[in-house]
Amino acid sequence: MALIDSHRVLADLRQLARFGAYKTGVHRPTFSDDDITARHWFLTRLEEAGLKPKIDGIGNVYGLSRGEGPKILSGSHLESQNHAGWLDGALGMIFALEAARAIGEGVDVVAFADEEGHFGSFIGSRSFTGLLEEEEIDRLKNRYDGTPLRDALARVGLADVERRRVVPGQYRAFFEAHIEQGDTLETGGRKIGIVNAIVAIWQYRIVVEGEQNHAGTTSMARRRDAGLALVRLLGEIDRRFPDFAGPRTVWTTGKIALEPGAPSIVPGRAEAFFQFRDADQTVLDRLDGELRRLVEDADRGHCRVRLEVMGQSRPAKMNERLGAYIEEAAERHAPGGWLVMPSGAGHDAQYLARVMPGAMMFVPSIGGISHHWTENTSDEDIVLGAQVFCDAIEAALRASA
Amino acid sequence: MALIDSHRVLADLRQLARFGAYKTGVHRPTFSDDDITARHWFLTRLEEAGLKPKIDGIGNVYGLSRGEGPKILSGSHLESQNHAGWLDGALGMIFALEAARAIGEGVDVVAFADEEGHFGSFIGSRSFTGLLEEEEIDRLKNRYDGTPLRDALARVGLADVERRRVVPGQYRAFFEAHIEQGDTLETGGRKIGIVNAIVAIWQYRIVVEGEQNHAGTTSMARRRDAGLALVRLLGEIDRRFPDFAGPRTVWTTGKIALEPGAPSIVPGRAEAFFQFRDADQTVLDRLDGELRRLVEDADRGHCRVRLEVMGQSRPAKMNERLGAYIEEAAERHAPGGWLVMPSGAGHDAQYLARVMPGAMMFVPSIGGISHHWTENTSDEDIVLGAQVFCDAIEAALRASA
């Protein structure tokens, strides 16, 4: 099997972390100067590796292997969350690059633009898989500073560049490596996670309408306190959800806003962002049903309570045969040190898996931390992961079609 | 007894509502152009009534009666909450003006600046009663646009004007009329509220510190979700407080903030504004004790929970003899149509009552609504209230000292 160059892997990762360095992490938002410098640096690395470098009209970076045989596509993303870690995305890019370098031919590399969602939702992988219309590009704006995506693309010279789109049958498989971003591997003493599915995210807005009133002169009996009704509903969700959830389900209230939000005013309106995630459609449906029942119960009280669906993605199954290649490689390099698990976070692989067999592999995150500048993985785990990943891609490439 | 001119009372109230008119209410923030126009219009009315008009260095407007006999002080405030009602403050000003006009001599009128707290907490009445230092004026800023109070005072020509301060023994009493802002009078079919005490407001900030994490990859068991810990604590307060509260106690969570407040991030920090109000010191102490117990319980969980005291005012007792004057007058004009009750809202009278006998009188609020442009009181109730108020002031003025 092909051998990776562990020094080269670590050196490339450390070099990439210099673009937008922030404390021990990086701040490299999509299409920022640092992000563009990183993309150009990566294009140079691809060329050095003998791949044909390209950047397309949505900002996706490609390294296309020469030759006519079967092809595997591998990659992740280059930009980062704001003031976040050095490995989220970057690790998958350098693993893919190293696999291409080690294997020699048949591995195409791709960095999907804006996986971190500064402008939209997976615009790079959706563009490549034919799920991003021009109209959506017209509409999207940077969520932090409001810059239209069109302006950002023009600023970095991509306004008139064509977007590349995958051709059916072009690739045997898509492989993505990533840090786990949780602590399942670490607490279980494992080195490699073999992703069997990427969870679906069902995101809701809970809206409560009551009556805004003076907090001193409105008796408790007379109030229609939207904030209190929301607190009671969230308390019910907290009590009821464990009975309906699967073993790996997670649910989160990420935001609560009371209006007008003043100390001496009974809130007339309250809103929360609530989401749950699971890889099992049955569990998702069950939780949705229970949530709707709790909202209906709450709506029978003094306030009007309604549920707005903001998004209900579907679980993305990874390909079992590809998973078996990762498993064999992991067993070879770290016997017993692997685990089959779902991904609780979304990844470009969920869109790629719609048009070709997909595979994802995790390496451990120290303390389970990600989306924070302290995010890290030990050098040993990085090197082991790079070799397992390379082996699995090679196995998929060499297998009889 | 002196007779009020009901047409003049209603006409003056309607004229005052033209300054900063907003829908059927007013938007007349402290020291805004509309507020200053209203203050100057009121100074003219005071002069027409034979009172000596003055405005002092904090923006308080005074109408000083001539003559040497005993004096009663009466008034309220002229500015409004943002986009709020036409009677909150204004009613007490026109009632005081009308009492001075009807009685003829011995009634001084005052409009305390910024009772509505655009810049600070009761700065007008605290300045007049000697509780506002220059250093606090240096520090205060408009809570909506950040304008320093000093700049606002300079803009309206009050930078070098002296602040007036009450002289001990100068007044026999302070009388303030106000809309109830609740629905106790309306639901009880009463026309006049005789305030026996202004409640204390005990205001807290609840701060929860947990661990910010990825909402997809952090298992429920591993989370230290600050938002969830706060929701659980607020739920406990909701369940426990009724057992500790008095019959008129009110408690309110006016604001909740989760940080960073994104759909897919487990909140690392959460904060709430929580307050309760009561006129009984025993009840206040009991609720404070229970709140501290619940916070300590919460602090034993996965997150750190602490309580910060933002303010603990004391209940302000109104003078019983003055209350009896209001009661006699109310019984004369609306037999059985009055009620003794605490004020759940703060008023300038709570500061005046520290330095002289204080009295407050309420008229009904339609639907209990205030701090909203739909705030209203029927013309009949306004006229009745003005006469009862005038009678009570006259009785206090004529009583042997």
CB contact under 8 A, A253 and B258: yes
As separate numbers, helices (DSSP H) first and strands (DSSP E) second, chain B gives 12, 17
CA dihedral (B63, B64, B67, B71) in degrees, to 10, reads: 100
Tell me how close the Cα of A198 comes to any Cα of chain B, in angstroms: 10
Q: How far apart are CA B124 and CA A57, in angstroms?
A: 63
Chain A CB within 8 Å of residue B343 CB: yes
Q: Which of B214, B265, B372 to mutate to test the interface with A (most CBs of A within 10 A)?
A: B214
Among all residues of chain B, which has the CA nearest to that of A268?
B254
Q: pTM above 0.90?
A: no
Mean pLDDT, chain A, as a whole number? 97
Which domains can be identified in chain B, with CATH numbers? 6-199+315-398 (3.40.630.10), 200-312 (3.30.70.360)
Number of A to B CB contacts under 8 A, please give it. Answer: 189
pLDDT at B401 over 70: no
CB-nearest partner of B222 from A183, A225, A253 = A183
> Which pLDDT does position A401 carry in this prediction?
61
- B172-199 pLDDT, tens per residue? 999 999 999 999 999 999 999 999 999 9
Q: How far apart are CA B147 and CA A242, in angstroms?
A: 50
Chain A CB within 8 Å of residue B266 CB: yes
Contacts of A346 in chain B (CB under 8 A): 216
pLDDT at A142 over 90: yes
> Which pLDDT does position A371 carry in this prediction?
86
Tell me how close the Cα of B300 comes to any Cα of chain A, in angstroms: 18
> Which pLDDT does position B371 carry in this prediction?
86
- A102-117 pLDDT, tens per residue? 999 999 999 999 999 9
Mean pLDDT value across residues B57-62: 98
- Per-residue DSSP letters for A65-103? PPSSS--EEEEE-----TTB-SSTTHHHHHHHHHHHHHH
> Which pLDDT does position A400 carry in this prediction?
78
Total residues belonging to chain B: 401
Contacts of A235 in chain B (CB under 8 A): 231-232, 235
How much of chain A is in helix, strand and coil states, percent to nearest 5? 35, 25, 40
> Which pLDDT does position A242 carry in this prediction?
98
Mean pLDDT value across residues B283-292: 98
In sequence order, which residues have a C-beta less than 8 Å from that of residue A78 and are 6 or more positions away?
A: A16, A28, A35, A38, A39, A42, A61, A89, A90, A93, A111
Total residues belonging to chain A: 401
Among all residues of chain B, which has the CA nearest to that of A254?
B263
Contacts of B365 in chain A (CB under 8 A): 217
Q: Which of B202, B203, B253 to mutate to test the interface with A (most CBs of A within 10 A)?
A: B253
CA dihedral (A283, A176, A165, A357) in degrees, to 10, reads: -60
Contacts of A368 in chain B (CB under 8 A): 213, 217-218, 222
Q: How far apart are CA B378 and CA B189, in angstroms?
A: 13
- Per-residue DSSP letters for B307-327? EEEEEE---EEPPHHHHHHHH
As beta bridge partners, residue B352 has none
pLDDT at B237 over 90: yes
